[in-house]
Amino acid sequence: MKILINASNLKVGGGKQVFLSFLTELYNKGYLENKNFSFYFYMHESLIDEIDNEIINCIELRHQYSVNSNLGLPYFFSMRADLKRIDSKFIPDKVFTVFGPAYWKPKRAKHIVGFALPWMIYTESPIYKELSKYEFIKKIVFNKIRAHLLKREGDEFVVETDSVKFRLSKLLNINNKLIHTVPNCVSSRFYNYANSKEETDLSVSKYLVTGENKIKVLMLSAFYNHKNFNLIKRAVSDERFSQFHFFITISNEDYCKNFEDSATLTNLGPVSAEICPALYNETDIVIQPSLLECFSANYVEAMYMNKPLVLSDFEFSRTTVRDNGYYFEHDDLNALLSALLIARKEPVTTKEYVKENFPNAKERAMRYINIVVES
């Protein structure tokens, strides 16, 4: 079977990590050595340096790959041109776009498309009220265009929660049997964390410095408006939160634009995925006040590390965390303070919930490949 894996639109963030994990597990499970499969990997140039050399060597020996290095509008057009060329020369039996839309449809192959665009399905989110009239109209029109393209290009879809499955089925007006739920998972680096725990803890503890007896609160996220960083800004300006010290992980540029220096706030800057387990381990509480998600890896990572998880109360958060978090109304400082205080006092044993309800990286990869092969 000839399979085209399209990850050309994944340059940063969770989508990139999903693809890299999937590729690693294809290699580990022997799919790249299996003569019954011929793969073509089309990806963004920035991913190459993050793939192990032995995997690249295996792909070069037995399979094919190509990269796209453009950005912006040229990237869009070159991506479509590349996919058309690959489709006509490689002639795949199946195409898996890890996260769509691909803005392209293969000529004959069945196309399985991953979906993780919360702006399209959670339109009741309060983030829409924060948009200007122009931005609101632009977002609604763009959503309609993308919905049309998704329905036209995809034969089947992969999502990360049943909530997203239900809403996507309604949005595209398709049978939910065409939509497969494969939850996100805890990265293998969390499972391997115990082997290097002492060394990595020492390397990050110097960054998580607070005043005496401060409670360390970690928000692990890049800066986006829907992440609700404004709530953190309000909290560090409120004396009632003086017992807490907040740590965020945004770029220095975003920090300077949106925050003033505070004795109870530290920006760690963007952090590598390798030290995330240690960051969680050195933290007292994890906070995720987002207004919009399909699935946040922060949820399962915090729970796996047995850290209290304080999060905004929405359908997308409850469908993943259920009763294992401390919820608050997204813009209510009183509710946030109450949730933080309760979370600090109660013991947390959520690791088993993650192990019982979410796949590991190997299991997720096998679900992906089974859907592609059997679709």
Residues 140 and 112 in one domain: yes
Adjacent-strand bridge partners of 48: none
Model confidence over 78-97: pLDDT tens digits?
Answer: 888 999 999 999 999 999 99
Residues 98 and 66 in one domain: yes
Residues 349 and 367 in one domain: no
Residues 286 and 323 in one domain: yes
Q: How confident is the model at residue 160 (pLDDT cuts 50, 70, 90)?
A: very high
Q: What is the mean pLDDT of residues 174-187?
A: 95
pLDDT at residue 191, as a whole number: 84
Model confidence over 105-144: pLDDT tens digits?
Answer: 999 999 999 999 999 999 999 999 999 999 999 999 999 9
Model confidence over 73-83: pLDDT tens digits?
Answer: 566 788 889 99
Find the CATH number of the domain harbouring 108: 3.40.50.2000
pLDDT at residue 196, as a whole number: 60
Residues 157 and 66 in one domain: yes
Q: What is the mean pLDDT of residues 41-52?
A: 89
Which positions ≥6 away from 168 have C-beta within 8 Å?
115, 121, 157, 159, 179
As given in the structure block, the two tokens for residue 155 are 């034969």
Q: How confident is the model at residue 200 (pLDDT cuts 50, 70, 90)?
A: low
**pLDDT score of 56 more than 80:** yes
Range with lowest mean pLDDT among 207-211, 314-318, 344-348? 207-211
**pLDDT score of 68 more than 90:** no
Residues 178 and 236 in one domain: no
pLDDT at residue 180, as a whole number: 98
As given in the structure block, the two tokens for residue 270 are 């963007």
**pLDDT score of 199 more than 60:** no
Q: Chain-wide mean pLDDT for the chain?
A: 92
Residues 258 and 324 in one domain: yes
Residues 156 and 257 in one domain: no
Q: What is the mean pLDDT of residues 2-18?
A: 88
Model confidence over 251-293: pLDDT tens digits?
Answer: 999 999 999 999 999 999 988 888 889 999 999 999 999 999 9
Residues 199 and 266 in one domain: yes
pLDDT at residue 15, as a whole number: 85
Q: How confident is the model at residue 202 (pLDDT cuts 50, 70, 90)?
A: low
Owner of token pair 């990050």: 204
Residues 122 and 245 in one domain: no
Residues 269 and 124 in one domain: no
Tell me the CA distances in angstroms from 201 to 82, 247, 269, 306, one per residue in order.
44, 16, 18, 16
The domain total for the chain is 2
Q: Print the domain residue range for 31.
A: 2-185+360-374
Residues 249 and 227 in one domain: yes
